[in-house]
Amino acid sequence: MSEEIAPNPYPLILPQSLVLGQLVASLGSFIKGTAWEIGERFDAILAHRHGPEWLSQMSSDHHIPNLHDPDFVFNWHPEESILWEALPPFSIDLQKRFGRVRWTRNRWEHDAANQSIPAFLNGIDQVKRLTFALGLTTTSYAPLLVERTSVLQKAGGVLPPTAIELEIQQQKEAAEEARKAAEDALAIAVAAAAQAEEMGAQAVAARKVKNDAIQQVIEVKAEIARLENELLKAGSLSRQSLFEQADELQSGDPWGDLPLGVRTLTLKANMVELMDKTTETLLSQQLGLVATEAAQRWLEIMPSGGQVHLTPAGHAAGLVGNRFVYLGRLDTF
């Protein structure tokens, strides 16, 4: 136990969509971050007043609670508990605020399938009411979650693409239209060439038209390939620009207490592929060779494959034995 409040290891996870799993992870990060900060406050004040063994001394049995466990922190602490020495003066209202956060956590952990966006916003409000009363830094999480929820609702449930991704996508759509037009022209030219073969005199000119159309199709397909590559690069740069605590890890390191990524993939050993469990599609269909190469690297750590958790920055963790291990980053650079 320490006398100084350590950095909070539970940063806010903003949802990338309104999928239920994303909401669970986001609200969970708010609750866990708050429990950590309250636990550190307990220790900083009570260890100074009652000694470093205060937590074991207050326990009525041989079980010593985890200082940062939400089950311990968010409880109906009785008025005579020494924990109130580290809190504002006891009141029924403040005691109920602890209880409501506990109720919110249990609701989202054990009955998540029946939750909704209004319930998510209500959960944010219940946690914020406690953090505000205690003057916690995690109070700042609440408006960020509410703002992100509003953005996602306006965008139809998913984050809108970045400006560069939108521009490249528009260029790709224009190139696709050009490809279709070129292939239509090629079909006409091939038919005309076949007719001209019979006529003899126009055969050379028809073959030229056909060859020109073939070249146009080749050039348009090359442009589409270039734009797809640019789109992949833009996504990679977007992931690499995000800062996460896992940036400091090396492949094979224990994942520790860092929050697991909310995107779940299946590492398939028989295919050397990553399958997105939500969309049931291969990640290589979206990211190309980047996903296949990542699967090859991660199978060196998880030879039998299994479930992989992926963060927004592309950091992956998988269960090896009875603990989560850092597999590496999706993008190598």
Render 69-125 in DSSP notation, one character per residue. -HHHHSS---TT-GGGGGSSSP-HHHHHHHHHHHHHHHHHHHSGGG--HHHHHHHHH
| Token reading at 87 | 């809190």
The SS3 call for residue 267 is: strand
Same domain, yes or no, for 182 and 282? no
Same domain, yes or no, for 149 and 205? no
Same domain, yes or no, for 288 and 201? no
> Does some domain include residue 2?
no
pLDDT per residue over 17-74, tens digit each?
888 888 999 999 999 999 999 999 999 999 999 999 998 888 766 678 889 999 999 9
Domain edge (last residue) among 209, 240, 271? 240
Same domain, yes or no, for 179 and 135? no
Same domain, yes or no, for 264 and 143? no
DSSP symbol at 257? T
> Does some domain include residue 4?
no
The parent domain of residue 265 ranges over: 245-329
Number of domains in the chain: 3
Q: What is the value of pTM for the model shown? A: 0.53
Same domain, yes or no, for 146 and 34? yes
User: Residue 66 half-sphere exposure, CB side, CA atoms within 13 Å?
Assistant: 8
The SS3 call for residue 247 is: helix
pLDDT per residue over 164-216, tens digit each?
666 666 777 777 787 787 788 788 878 777 776 666 656 677 778 788 878 87
| Token reading at 168 | 């490249």
142 close to 124: Cβ distance less than 8 angstroms: yes
Same domain, yes or no, for 139 and 220? no
The SS3 call for residue 264 is: strand
Other beta carbons less than 10 A from residue 200's beta carbon: 8
